[in-house]
């Protein structure tokens, strides 16, 4: 097994070596880039032993992968194309999964990053349709927030504070209707002048 990541830059990609990522979790790792290849079965067995009994529960695998295209890699095990998956809306890295054998490729620091998000025992969920559509929704929300921030400038925080107050109000729909009605009344008053 040669390193799928170093293959992009090196004519003689280094051979992956057997290593232990966590106690009881054997992986193939690259001596040069420190990337690791996790095979599906050993990973799920390890995750199960880490208390994730539901890991065998089938998740609907998302077929629409990350829009990131740079650095395409091929599976170390079966040579299939590795599909990139976004991890979170606020994460700057993607993880690669083989659609054929379920093997995963993690670049040098990605296991630690998954660990810091407590996702390392739960990676299978990242590939699910639910997880991926949640990321898209978060990204959409973030883009919308940027537009409003640009619109209101320094008033944005104050508006958010007021909105939060209204949203938590027992009569929130009535408060919004009131603000809207006030605005319509004022508008018709100015136009009649
Ligand atoms: Zn490598
Ligand atoms: Zn594969």
Say yes or no: 101 and 143 in one domain.
no
Say yes or no: 31 and 119 in one domain.
yes
CA distance 103 to 96: 8
Considering every ligand atom shown, identify the ligand nearest to the alpha carbon of residue 76 and give its number: 2
Considering every ligand atom shown, identify the ligand nearest to the alpha carbon of residue 103 and give its number: 2
Residue 186 lies in a domain: yes
Considering every ligand atom shown, identify the ligand nearest to the alpha carbon of residue 14 and give its number: 1
Say yes or no: 121 and 96 in one domain.
yes
CA distance 34 to 23: 18
Say yes or no: 28 and 83 in one domain.
yes
H or E element, residue 113? helix 110-116
Ligand 2 centroid, distance to 75 Cα (angstroms): 5
Residue 166 lies in a domain: yes
Ligand 1 centroid, distance to 168 Cα (angstroms): 51
Considering every ligand atom shown, identify the ligand nearest to the alpha carbon of residue 29 and give its number: 1
CA distance 115 to 120: 5
Say yes or no: 143 and 120 in one domain.
no
For residue 139, the enclosing domain spans: 135-192
Say yes or no: 60 and 139 in one domain.
no
- The neighbouring-strand residues paired with 86 are 94
Enter the tokens of residue 89: 């809306």
Residue 64 lies in a domain: yes
CA distance 132 to 83: 13
Q: The sheet that has 17-22: what strands, in order across it?
A: 17-22, 25-29, 36-38, 104-106, 94-98, 82-86
Considering 70, 93, 127, which residue would you say is the last residue of a domain? 127
H or E element, residue 19? strand 17-22
Residue 1 lies in a domain: no
Considering 127, 147, 169, which residue would you say is the last residue of a domain? 127
Q: Considering its fold, how many domains does the chain have in total?
A: 2
Radius of gyration of the chain (CA): 24
Ligand 2 centroid, distance to 117 Cα (angstroms): 26
Say yes or no: 98 and 170 in one domain.
no
Ligand 2 centroid, distance to 38 Cα (angstroms): 10
Enter the tokens of residue 105: 């490729």
Ligand 2 centroid, distance to 120 Cα (angstroms): 20
Three-class DSSP category at 95:
strand
Say yes or no: 93 and 158 in one domain.
no
What is the chain's pLDDT, residue by residue, as a tens digit (193 residues)? Answer: 899 998 767 778 899 999 999 999 999 999 999 999 999 999 999 988 877 666 666 667 776 666 666 678 899 999 898 988 999 888 888 999 998 999 999 999 999 999 999 999 889 889 888 898 898 898 888 889 999 999 999 999 999 999 999 999 999 999 999 998 877 777 777 765 5
Considering every ligand atom shown, identify the ligand nearest to the alpha carbon of residue 10 and give its number: 1
Ligand 1 centroid, distance to 53 Cα (angstroms): 32
Say yes or no: 29 and 61 in one domain.
yes
Say yes or no: 86 and 149 in one domain.
no
Say yes or no: 41 and 107 in one domain.
yes
Considering 79, 94, 127, which residue would you say is the last residue of a domain? 127
| DSSP single-letter state for residue 128 | B
Ligand 2 centroid, distance to 145 Cα (angstroms): 39
Residue 14 lies in a domain: yes
Say yes or no: 80 and 168 in one domain.
no
Ligand 1 centroid, distance to 10 Cα (angstroms): 9
């Amino acid at each position: 097994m040669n390193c799928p990541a170093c293959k992009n830059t090196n004519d003689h990609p280094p051979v992956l070596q057997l290593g232990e990522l966590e106690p009881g979790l054997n992986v193939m790792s690259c001596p040069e880039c420190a990337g690791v290849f996790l095979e599906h079965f050993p990973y799920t067995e390890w995750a199960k032993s880490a208390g994730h009994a539901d890991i065998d529960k089938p998740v609907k695998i998302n077929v629409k992968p990350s829009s990131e295209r740079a650095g395409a890699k091929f599976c170390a095990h079966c040579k299939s194309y590795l599909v990139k998956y976004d991890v979170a809306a606020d994460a700057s890295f993607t993880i690669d999964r083989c659609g054929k054998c379920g093997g995963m490729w993690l670049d040098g620091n990605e296991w630690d990053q998954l660990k810091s998000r407590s996702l390392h025992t739960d990676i299978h969920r990242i590939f699910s349709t639910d997880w991926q559509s949640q990321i898209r929704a978060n990204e959409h929300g973030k883009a919308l927030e940027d537009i409003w921030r640009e619109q209101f400038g320094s008033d944005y925080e104050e508006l958010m504070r007021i909105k939060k107050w209204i949203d938590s109000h027992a009569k929130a729909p009535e408060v919004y209707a009131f603000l809207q009605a006030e605005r319509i009344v004022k508008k018709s008053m100015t136009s009649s002048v």
